[in-house]
Structure 1
């Protein structure tokens, strides 16, 4: 559905109309209050550049998760990613930092890797390349340790390469 741009580390859609169609499908029952569907919609709206909608839905997703733990943390990370794209870095980084602490407390290395990866992308957008490199490296190490899917490890390697290139 998308590729990651080597220079911006942002998703670039392969087929915008397919993404728009998927968003429409996810706005219909039974998907409207399904947390996974809402999360997918937040991500697609962000990638489509519909950032205000993504933020509003992202906040709703956090509210939909009535208990702490993995679902709420994943929703918070998606919201932080939207705030990053809105260049509201202070808010985004606050959520990313909290997510790192919470994922570590949950002993959820897969989620911790996700938090490192996306915090790194926020730092990368802020041109804080050394810090981004650190987080991408941590994400890659965790992903390799837990046997994450190949595309996730590849994404961390790609981000690490971009941060190192930016430091030169």
Structure 2
């Protein structure tokens, strides 16, 4: 999404311009296509409107299950899991993201699998499980390379791996 300005080094969450996100949310508020619903959930999430994001995320999963493609359903489930992560429900997010990553890989959808692994890594990072985070990010890097991702995308994954290693080293030093 073009709204991402970078990533917070301490949380690995997206950095966005809230006014741009609010304007886009207003622009697409009445749209009901699954891609629009997915975008609205993401915008609500990054704006910190987590109760709204959760409700709309659950609705989007239902819509995708009834009228969407399997890929849209998988994307909706991944996005819903990231809302759970933002709400601090790391165990639920971990289970959902691991399942989605496995399903995507089973279908041969490397880009969706990479997306799920990336968020699995972010969730593990936030939960303090640095070994799982590192493995998820390394798997993301492998899949992104396999799909021919651009250098900026690969660089963001490498920065996530470095952030995990720094955090893990600090945790080891503190214990």
Shorter-normalised TM range:
over 0.9
Matched, 1:6 2:3: no
Are the equivalent residues in 2 in contact too, given 1:5–1:12 (CA < 8 A)? yes
> Which position in structure 1 is the counterpart of 2:62?
63
Deviations 1:88-147 (A, max 9, x none): 112111211210221111111111111110000000000101110000000001101110
Q: Displacement, 1:10?
A: 0.7
Matched, 1:80 2:86: no
How many residues get paired? 164
Q: Displacement, 1:25?
A: 1.0
Are the equivalent residues in 1 in contact too, given 2:98–2:117 (CA < 8 A)? no
Deviations 1:3-32 (A, max 9, x none): 21122101122x21111111111112xx2x
SS of the residue 1:81 aligns to = helix
Of 18, 22, 25 in structure 2, the residue corresponding to residue 16 of structure 1 is 18
TM-score, length basis structure 1: 0.92
Q: Where in structure 2 are the equivalents of 1:1-168 lying within 5 Å?
A: 1-2=3-4, 3-13=6-16, 15-28=17-30, 31=31, 33-65=32-64, 66=66, 69-168=70-169
> 2:109 & 2:57 partners in 1: Cα distance?
22
How large is the RMSD of aligned CA atoms in angstroms? 1.3
> 1:49 & 1:82 partners in 2: Cα distance?
10
TM-score, length basis structure 2: 0.89
> 2:50 & 2:152 partners in 1: Cα distance?
25
5+ unaligned residues in a row in structure 2: which ranges? Answer: 170-175
SS of the residue 1:160 aligns to = helix
